[in-house]
Structure 1
């Protein structure tokens, strides 16, 4: 059973992402205990549930334990174990500090008595910064504006997924230096977040979407491809062998059609291989394992944006090594206001080739 209590009917007055992130408070047991109201999404090929769900639901639970005039400004998370989409999650909120200007909460997500995710959040009282403040922000780069009628609209979690995105070409994609590249996209929740959700619903939605393609930036800037990691839950490759054969003989329009975040480096290898004199695909490293280890969000202007309107995100990877990679993400409103800075480190291991014996 994927939920502790039978889910109620979907609320049509809410956006899809509100229904996905809905929590049930177990107040008869403990007012600081919550559980997922609805089943959580398991990405094809992933070891567990989508990490953004744990991030967002921990935030949603903590927000229900602070005064209305307190708003989250930072959260620091650790992915401990892969979450099982077939088992309910119990979220326990611990009141660490109740201050005049700041409040601190720690939330632990558990399955079968074991912690799978933990986060500590800090909330600040509105207006506590004073009338005169030190202010600056990194400006948003100039990029093409997102369009609702764009034919390249993507639904990263399927037709019924709670958010949509539009990818933009990677900046400096041909550079030999991965740290100079910028992976960019427009993103927003589908539908309209309800007024009853308040600013808390928009913050939870942003937290959920902040995990989209995050650590995958390392693979993108290195042009790695994921055949093994791209398997579905039944162990079958996401890029079937017959599809690969078709791609090798297909035209550019067909290549574009089959390009996804999981196989775009493979598609690139096809393009590069065609340019080679022997017409063979240039061998490229393959990701053997890629898992998020931690996730940090610093919220800026947390009550001045809507997560159901287009937000621009830009990701860069300043470092990768020792089987890990680091990615920094900045999130902006369409008008250019910086609303969040996120940092994630993840496990990024290459599929090791058998050693040749001499």
Structure 2
């Protein structure tokens, strides 16, 4: 799925009945439904039930079961509340009548108010940095095939700020930064860009929590699975312009890794914040 329009098509859900929508699956090389896909499709389903002048400002989700990429996903939307400024929806995703995912999403009218933000980290810009695709191509003989295919098939380009070498066998502090953007120009209003950012926000989160515990840039011998995901949208942006994902993992304990991310434009505007907790445990041999 290298073409961004293929991803946009994946987010165009089929209406089955009132407030019920069907989504197809990206055939991920790791043979499970990608969490970012379910997040963005759930947001797409909720967007179909709200007034056109309201835009998402937050969502809070739980991944309950691994999704089967061979089965379409049914998204059921509950009209929780329609207020004067805010609209709230609850979305339940199902496969074979089993609930695999739930989320609550809040939408808001655009309104004027107080405004402040933290500063963007002082890191180098995307110009001159190598993409992660360039890096894995350099070491393709040493990279597992599913990871190689997964990176090459993304419709987004990622450029890590911190130097990456597959020959580096050391552990790292739980901090890293990525520049990213869609590989092609994206048409559509803010809601389209928000859905795509929701999709891409699921990349590189859990692996940040593994940095102090694995030797080398590719986690080996570790089972990982997202448990929950929360996201806040602060300001307007474009997904086809460079964005910085500043990631850190404050804690790992009791087989869970916790990671935060702030997303900035190249000009330093904070546009979104993300948190995720996931399962990280040694694989059973």
Task: Give CA-to-partner distance per residue, 1:295-335, whole Å, 9 cap, x none.
Answer: 0001111xx21011111001111111111110001111111
Return the alpha-carbon distance in structure 2 between the equivalents of residues 352 and 50 of structure 1.
22
- Aligned match for 1:31, one of 18, 30, 38: 18
Return the alpha-carbon distance in structure 2 between the equivalents of residues 146 and 222 of structure 1.
28
Matched, 1:299 2:285: no
Return the alpha-carbon distance in structure 2 between the equivalents of residues 84 and 205 of structure 1.
22
Cα distance, 1:219–1:156 mapped onto 2, change above 3 Å: farther
Trace 1:251-330 onto structure 2 (pairs within 5 A).
261-262=217-218, 287-301=221-235, 304-330=236-262
Alignment partner of 1:336: what SS?
coil
1:175 is displaced (CA, Å) by 11
1:89 is displaced (CA, Å) by 0.5
Cα distance, 1:126–1:151 mapped onto 2, change above 3 Å: closer
Residue segments in structure 2 that go unaligned for 5+ positions in a row: 134-147
| Alpha-carbon contact 2:126-2:242 (below 8 Å) kept | yes
RMSD between superposed Cα atoms in Å: 2.7
Return the alpha-carbon distance in structure 2 between the equivalents of residues 23 and 104 of structure 1.
20
Return the alpha-carbon distance in structure 1 between the equivalents of residues 270 and 125 of structure 2.
16
Task: Give CA-to-partner distance per residue, 1:118-144, whole Å, 9 cap, x none.
Answer: 1000111111xx4xx332211111222
Identify the structure with the greater strand proportion: 2
Instruction: Please say which of residues 136-145 and 311-320 is displaced more in the overlay.
Output: 136-145
| Count of residues in Structure 1 that have an aligned counterpart in Structure 2 | 267
1:176 is displaced (CA, Å) by 8.4
Cα distance, 1:200–1:82 mapped onto 2, change above 3 Å: same
Return the alpha-carbon distance in structure 2 between the equivalents of residues 326 and 109 of structure 1.
24
| Alpha-carbon contact 1:43-1:50 (below 8 Å) kept | no
> 1:137 maps to which residue?
117
Return the alpha-carbon distance in structure 1 between the equivalents of residues 124 and 6 of structure 2.
27
> 1:203 maps to which residue?
194
| Alpha-carbon contact 1:170-1:184 (below 8 Å) kept | no
From the CA coordinates, give the structure whose radius of gyration is larger: 1
Return the alpha-carbon distance in structure 1 between the equivalents of residues 270 and 38 of structure 2.
24
| Alpha-carbon contact 1:18-1:193 (below 8 Å) kept | no
Return the alpha-carbon distance in structure 1 between the equivalents of residues 227 and 94 of structure 2.
17
Return the alpha-carbon distance in structure 2 between the equivalents of residues 39 and 295 of structure 1.
19
1:43 is displaced (CA, Å) by 4.1
> 1:96 maps to which residue?
80
Task: Give CA-to-partner distance per residue, 1:324-352, whole Å, 9 cap, x none.
Answer: 11000111111111011100001111246
- Aligned match for 2:5, one of 12, 15, 33: 15
| Alpha-carbon contact 2:36-2:202 (below 8 Å) kept | yes
- Aligned match for 2:28, one of 42, 57, 66: 42
| Alpha-carbon contact 1:296-1:344 (below 8 Å) kept | yes
Residue segments in structure 1 that go unaligned for 5+ positions in a row: 1-9, 226-260, 264-285, 354-358
Alignment partner of 2:150: what SS?
coil
Matched, 1:113 2:100: no
Task: Give CA-to-partner distance per residue, 1:87-143, whole Å, 9 cap, x none.
Answer: 01111111000100111000111100111111000111111xx4xx33221111122
Cα distance, 1:104–1:211 mapped onto 2, change above 3 Å: same
> 2:108 maps to which residue?
124
